[in-house]
Amino acid sequence: MNPSTNTTPRWLLYGATGYTGVLIAEEAVRRGHEPVLAGRSREKLAPLASRLGLDRVAVGLDDMRGLVSALEGLPLVVHAAGPFVHTSEPMVQACLSAGAHYLDITGEIPVFENTFRHDAEARRRGVVLMSGVGFDVVPTDCLARHVAEKVPGAHELDLAIAAVSQASAGTTKSAREGLPSGGFVRRGGHLRPWPMGKGVRRVRFSDKERTVVPIPWGDLVTAWHSTGIPNITTYLAQPAAVARALRFTFPLLQKLVAVGAVREQLARLVEAHVRGPDEALHQTGRSQVWAEARAPDGGRAEAWLEAPEAYAFTAKATVRAVEEVLAGALRGAFTPAQAFGADFVLSIEGVRRMDLSA
């Protein structure tokens, strides 16, 4: 690995001009970092680099030699350019070649699985590979490990999220990529298909009770690695009518996105109209997470987490993860809770955790 000789933290932020990339860049500067801003377009990078007083480099993900060259002298990459199912692997390979740590903000199940497939090589190369250092999946991963540690031998884990936010264009594109695969749960240690809309239930969050529906959140992979619990279901809060309607509307959505012309039109609409939450929502929005671990002998632990709005949280959590990786000596592929422990989420400004054990 080629560490920077500058005492100010310097690392590469790829996808810096995207909605979340800008937030990460701003948070990094606020915390005294000097990330090098990177992406495909020099023209798009220039205004942000000028505003924040940062260096920039334009390079495409199809240019492996250029990526490795861009990493020279930099110890770490934060990869913020999705959909990650298409963009993650080239950057992982560049990091392995350059001897640089790799972090991303994905929530995509295939990406988590692929990151862990590189564990042995990452150990040999002396680097950390860590997907999901934002709202996907830091709050849920840390809360999952927290309740699991309270219930030795837990065999079931339920996680639910109520995220008061608005999706960015990047998040919407990633979600669209996952639509054809449908729903999943983990049973007996394996991912199993699960009909979307099946298993709707009510969950008491720290502020109020909500209707939740099973969705394929990244913790179906990460919580399995963090806790070893073999049966995991992840839920998202939805209006009751929406949750009930998913069983009937989701198959139609799957058929629609399978049509190339429809996908192209959706992409144009997303680019034109999806902007993500505004600054007011960043400041006032609160996200809720609930987790419950259960053991065959009746042991049970339940906990809640309150956190900032999802994108504001992602910016803060990403920079904190960068700091932890650069300060540590870990090598290999990890989830955030594996690497930093269940209490890592509490080091992020605006987070509160509550417990109930029985």
CATH architecture type of domain 138-310+349-357:
2-Layer Sandwich (3.30)
Report how far residue 119's alpha carbon sits from residue 221's, in angstroms, rounded to the nearest whole number: 14
Closest CA to 289 of 141, 174, 120, 122: 141
The Cβ-side half-sphere exposure at 146, using a 13 Å CA radius, reads 25
CATH 3.30.360.10 location in the chain: 138-310+349-357
Q: What pairing do the DSSP bridges indicate for beta strands 36-39 and 12-14?
A: parallel
Topology at the third CATH level for domain 12-134+312-340: Rossmann fold (3.40.50)
As a residue count, the chain comes to 358
What phi and psi, each to the nearest 5 degrees, are found at residue 193?
-60, 145
**Cα 119 from chain centroid (whole Å):** 18
Tell me the pLDDT tens digit for each residue of 45-85.
999 999 999 999 999 999 999 999 999 999 999 999 999 99
Q: What does the pLDDT profile of the chain (358 residues) look like in tens digits?
A: 444 445 688 999 999 999 999 999 999 999 999 999 999 999 999 999 999 999 999 999 999 999 999 999 999 999 999 999 999 999 999 999 999 999 999 999 999 999 999 999 999 999 999 999 999 999 999 999 999 999 999 999 999 999 865 565 556 555 656 656 789 999 999 999 999 889 999 999 999 999 999 999 999 999 999 999 999 999 999 988 887 777 767 676 666 666 666 556 666 665 666 566 677 677 778 899 999 999 999 999 999 999 999 999 999 999 999 999 999 999 999 999 999 999 999 999 999 999 974 4
What phi and psi, each to the nearest 5 degrees, are found at residue 134?
-110, -150
Question: CB neighbours of 147 closer than 8 A, spacing ≥ 6?
Answer: 154, 157, 291, 292, 293, 301, 302, 303
Q: What is the pTM of this model?
A: 0.91
CATH 3.40.50.720 location in the chain: 12-134+312-340
